[in-house]
């Protein structure tokens, strides 16, 4: 049987990460090459730089509760994106090792029809990956055009409140800063989106391996029973090891994401009470809340699916030894 390419399912995800400087070539981490230089410049310019300028602005508006809330609910999301990028880059070699593990013989389906056991899970991940873009793109679009729509661009208002070491209310600094904010927020949003999607994919792969293992156990038969049983035991141990490595890779990211999402949703609800109903800002906040909810959904759904497939419908587990 032809070797099944697990990474083919997430090829769009990987391609996006490559563009963002978050997926170096090969099966190792970053090396001394042009791609690493590109990643270093883009991540520092659009992630670290934007976060720095927004965070500095807190010291100038902290006495105004409404302005502070409007700034903080965006800033903490951006800071979480920075944390994600940090751990993602730091653990890149570990992530690449996980991708290599997926190509091992034990993780391959034994026959063509066995693909039917797990293909629905892979297709659902593809669906959620596309679905995740639906609240994100309108939210970003609304934010970047809001100063134009409400006429505040005439007063040199930027899409996001931030401090800069120069006067942004004169040309061409205003236009340059406006474009910089647009590029930065799109860069961070799609970095976070694709990192979330990849972590959901890892959990999806764990669930798929549980499906394959369950099918192998179900079809042990009587020919070479002991050999096939031993292979199933090895496969199970490999799945447990793979799942543990996945947890090590994104446990801190998941913890930070749940905390940030809960806080951001609360602040977003507050913002909805102070903006004009049915305004463009109102709708952008609704889409933003939808994006944050979808973000949490990815972790909850795919994590729960992996848990259910590991423990089974009746709460029984395959012995670990």
- Specify if 320 maps to a domain: no
pLDDT at 189: 92
Q: What pLDDT digit, counting tens, does each position of 141-162 carry?
A: 888 888 888 888 888 989 888 9
Residue 199 pLDDT more than 90? yes
Give the span between the Cα atoms of 190 and 168, in whole angstroms. Answer: 26
- Specify if 1 maps to a domain: no
* Burial (CB count <10 Å: 0-12, 13-18, 19+), residue 276: exposed
Of 36-45, 85-94, 195-204, 298-307, the range with the lowest mean pLDDT is: 298-307
Number of domains in the chain: 1
The residues, ordered by sequence, that sit 6+ positions from 182 with a Cβ below 8 Å of its Cβ are 144, 159
- Specify if 244 maps to a domain: yes
- Specify if 319 maps to a domain: no
Across the range 23-27, mean pLDDT stands at 89
Residue 316 pLDDT more than 50? no
Residue 204 pLDDT more than 90? yes
Structure-model confidence comparison of residues 275 and 208, the more confident one: 208
- Specify if 317 maps to a domain: no
* Burial (CB count <10 Å: 0-12, 13-18, 19+), residue 143: buried
Residue 265 pLDDT more than 90? no
- Specify if 15 maps to a domain: yes
pLDDT at 222: 61
pLDDT at 217: 87
Across the range 164-177, mean pLDDT stands at 93
- Specify if 70 maps to a domain: yes
Residue 173 pLDDT more than 90? yes
Own/partner contacts of 48-56, CB < 8 Å, gap of 24 or more, are 48/82, 49/184, 50/78, 50/162, 50/180, 50/181, 50/184, 50/185, 50/188, 51/75, 51/78, 51/79, 51/82, 53/162, 53/163, 53/164, 54/78, 54/160, 54/161, 54/162, 54/163, 55/79, 56/162, 56/163
For all residues of the chain together, what is the average pLDDT? 87
> Domain of 185?
6-311
Share of the chain above pLDDT 70, in %: 96
- Specify if 247 maps to a domain: yes
pTM summary value: 0.87
């Amino acid at each position: 049987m032809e070797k099944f390419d697990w990474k083919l399912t997430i090829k769009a995800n990987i391609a996006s990460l490559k563009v963002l400087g978050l997926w170096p070539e090969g099966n190792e981490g970053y090396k001394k090459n042009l791609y690493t230089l590109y990643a270093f410049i883009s991540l520092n310019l659009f992630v670290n730089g934007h976060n720095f300028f927004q965070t500095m602005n807190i010291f100038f508006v902290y006495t105004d509760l409404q302005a502070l809330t409007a700034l903080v609910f965006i800033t903490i999301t951006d800071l979480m994106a920075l944390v994600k990028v940090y751990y993602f880059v730091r653990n890149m070699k570990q992530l690449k090792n996980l991708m290599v593990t997926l190509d091992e013989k034990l993780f391959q389906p034994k026959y063509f029809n066995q693909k039917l056991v797990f293909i629905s899970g892979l297709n659902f991940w593809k669906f959620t990956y596309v679905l995740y873009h639906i609240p994100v793109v309108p939210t970003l679009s609304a934010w970047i055009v809001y100063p134009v729509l409400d006429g505040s661009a005439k007063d040199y208002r930027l899409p996001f409140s931030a401090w800069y070491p120069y006067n942004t209310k004169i040309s061409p600094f205003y236009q340059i800063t406006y474009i910089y904010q647009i590029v930065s927020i799109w860069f961070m949003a799609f970095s976070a989106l694709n990192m979330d999607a990849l972590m959901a994919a890892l959990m999806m792969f764990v669930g798929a391996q549980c499906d394959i293992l369950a099918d192998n156990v179900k079809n042990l038969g009587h020919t070479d029973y002991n050999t096939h049983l031993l292979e199933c035991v090895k496969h199970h141990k490999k799945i447990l090891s793979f799942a543990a490595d996945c947890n090590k890779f994104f446990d801190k990211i998941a913890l930070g994401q749940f905390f940030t999402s809960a806080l951001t949703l609360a602040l977003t609800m507050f913002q909805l009470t102070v903006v004009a109903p049915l305004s463009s800002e109102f709708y952008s906040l609704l889409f933003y809340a939808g994006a944050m909810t979808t973000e949490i959904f990815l972790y909850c759904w795919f994590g729960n699916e992996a848990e259910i497939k590991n423990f089974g419908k009746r709460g029984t587990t395959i012995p670990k030894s």
